[in-house]
Structure 1
Amino acid sequence: MSKVTDVVEELVTPILDDNGLELVDIEYVKEGKDWFLRVFIDKDSGIDIEECGMVSEKLSEKLDELDPVPHNYFLEVSSPGAERPLKKERDYQRAVGKNVFIKTYEPIDGEKSFEGELKDFNGQSIMVEIKIKTRKKLIEIPFDKVAAARLAVTFS
């Protein structure tokens, strides 16, 4: 499946670059009997529906020309939403000071899931301040041990 996402990334990147937009993530997944190709885009000031529509239209034309997807599928181009995935080093750097949710490949201090404030990212490790009952604890997570990470919405 990653071959499809690689081809889609090659096709969509020039469209995004020409319009000052950023590629956040690409998913190619089967849900029930249907296949979905999802492209998540953003920019510093936020993305709007017209930009999503424009990218969808231009990408759809390129996909029709090249036909890299072996199944019928639904193309969705959208914002990553409030719980934006953290994929690239730049994503982590921008998320310093924000609440994040991180899952690891293996346990760290006996846990594989962490939610708290991202305090620092140095390219090698992530420092997250988590709350344990009434106290706070700083956890260092090696970057290469991160299975998945995203911004986390908190309600006070």
Structure 2
Amino acid sequence: MVQEHLAGSSLFPVAVEVKGSAQRPKVVVLLDGDSGVKIDDCAKVSRWLGERLEELNLFGNAYTLEVSSPGVDFPLTQPRQYPQHIGRTLNVTLTEGETVTGRLESVNHDGIVVLETRKEKGKKATTQPRDLLFSQINQAQVQVSFK
């Protein structure tokens, strides 16, 4: 429902979950946007979704509805999330288990390019671009910098 409602807009859902008990379910919707998410965006979607859930009477009982943006600890889950993080450091776990850390340089339709710094024993650190396909990425996390 949320995905259809937001079709064509700069906002998109990255997670929709129903948590809690059958007596008191909690609907959690996390939104992201091509240019970020404003609190007003969350409020509008929350009002729309709340009205829609009431119309459909999906839960029968009382429920809690939470619409927000993903926090910094939430991994990037969709290719559409990457462009807004160009220039930031990512910690990327690949499907075969390897972890790659580097600055996100670019995004294309197949994947991303990170500028990875490698330090080999007894040698100077080298920085090289590394192409990663979205199909290779198990999880990507933006690293928070307080500099």
Q: TM-score, normalization: structure 1? A: 0.65
Q: Which runs of 5+ in 2 are unaligned?
A: none
Do structure 1's residue 143 and structure 2's residue 134 form an aligned pair? Answer: yes
Report the equivalent of 1:9: 3
Report the equivalent of 1:4: none
CA RMSD in angstroms comes to: 3.4
Report the equivalent of 1:96: 86
Q: 1:97: how far off? A: 1.8
- Partner Cα separation in structure 1 for residue 20 and residue 116 of structure 2: 34
Deviation digits for residues 63-117 of structure 1 (CA, Å, limit 9, x no counterpart): 222245699753211122345643443322332222223222214xxx1x33321
Q: Residue type of the partner of 1:119?
A: E
Do structure 1's residue 154 and structure 2's residue 145 form an aligned pair? Answer: yes
Relative distance call for 1:80 and 1:142 in structure 2 (3 A) is: same
- Partner Cα separation in structure 1 for residue 50 and residue 85 of structure 2: 31
Question: Which secondary structure state, in structure 2, belongs to the residue aligned with residue 106 of structure 1?
Answer: coil
Relative distance call for 1:31 and 1:102 in structure 2 (3 A) is: farther
Query: Size of the alignment, in residue pairs?
Result: 140
Question: 2:104–2:112: 8 Å Cα contact kept in structure 1?
Answer: yes
Q: TM-score, normalization: structure 2? A: 0.68
Report the equivalent of 1:47: 38
Relative distance call for 1:74 and 1:142 in structure 2 (3 A) is: same
Report the equivalent of 1:3: none
Question: Going by fraction, where is helix more abundant, 1 or 2?
Answer: 1
How do residues 40-79 of structure 1 correspond to structure 2 at under 5 angstroms? 40-43=30-33, 44=35, 46-48=37-39, 50-68=40-58, 73-79=63-69
- Partner Cα separation in structure 2 for residue 106 and residue 71 of structure 1: 44
